[in-house]
Amino acid sequence: MSHRRTIRTTAVAAAAALSAMSALLAAAPATARTDTTPPSTPVFGYAQGFQCLMLIVGVPKVTDDVTPQDRIVYRVLANGVDVGALEDRGTSGMWAVLHLLQPGPSTVRVQAVDLAGNRSTSRGVAVTGYFTPGCTPGHL
C-alpha cells in the first residue's frame, strides 16, 4: 500500500471513529450529575385569610441551579398539610386563592419544588381563617 493511501485510510478511519463518538455523546444525558440542591427559599409577598376559609397567598418566583424558573412548582402548606399550588401569574409572581382546613389561626408555608424533587420551605406565617355562615364547599 502506498504512503498516501495509508494516510487516506487512516484519516477515513479516524473520521468514522469521531463520528461514532459524537453520536454516543449526543445520546448521553445532558447532565451527568444528580441535582441535589433545592431551589432558593420562597419569601412571602402576601398571605391573608378571608371569609369562607379563603386563603390568598403570593410569593415572588425563586431560582434553581438546574430547573428552569417556569418549571418550579410551589406547594402551599397550612399546619403542615398541603392545601394546593400557586399558579404563575406572569410578572406578578406566583399566587392563588386556596382554602384553609379550619377556622382560626393556621401556620402557612410555601415549598418550592424543583424537577428533581428537592424542596425549600419558606418561614411560617400566621394566618387566620374566618368561617362565614352560608359558605358552601367549593365556592371558589
Query: At a CB cut-off of 8 Å and minimum separation 6, what does 102 contact?
Result: 53, 79, 129
Torsion of the alpha carbons at 71, 77, 83 and 87, rounded to the nearest 10:
-30
More confident residue, 81 or 18: 81
- Residue 86 to residue 113: CA distance in whole angstroms: 12
Report domain extents, the chain. Answer: 1-30, 46-129
Would you place residue 139 in the very low, low, confident or very high pLDDT band (cuts 50, 70, 90)?
low
Would you place residue 88 in the very low, low, confident or very high pLDDT band (cuts 50, 70, 90)?
confident
- Residue 55 to residue 107: CA distance in whole angstroms: 12
Angle at 53 between CA 73 and CA 79, to 5 degrees: 55
Tell me 100's DSSP state. Answer: -
Record the cell numbers describing residue 67, joined without a space. Answer: 430547573
Query: What pLDDT is stored for residue 132 in this prediction?
Result: 84
Query: What pLDDT is stored for residue 137 in this prediction?
Result: 61
Homologous superfamily assigned to 46-129: Immunoglobulins (2.60.40.10)
Query: What pLDDT is stored for residue 68 in this prediction?
Result: 93
Query: At a CB cut-off of 8 Å and minimum separation 6, what does 40 contact?
Result: 62, 63, 64, 112, 120
Query: What pLDDT is stored for residue 1 in this prediction?
Result: 54
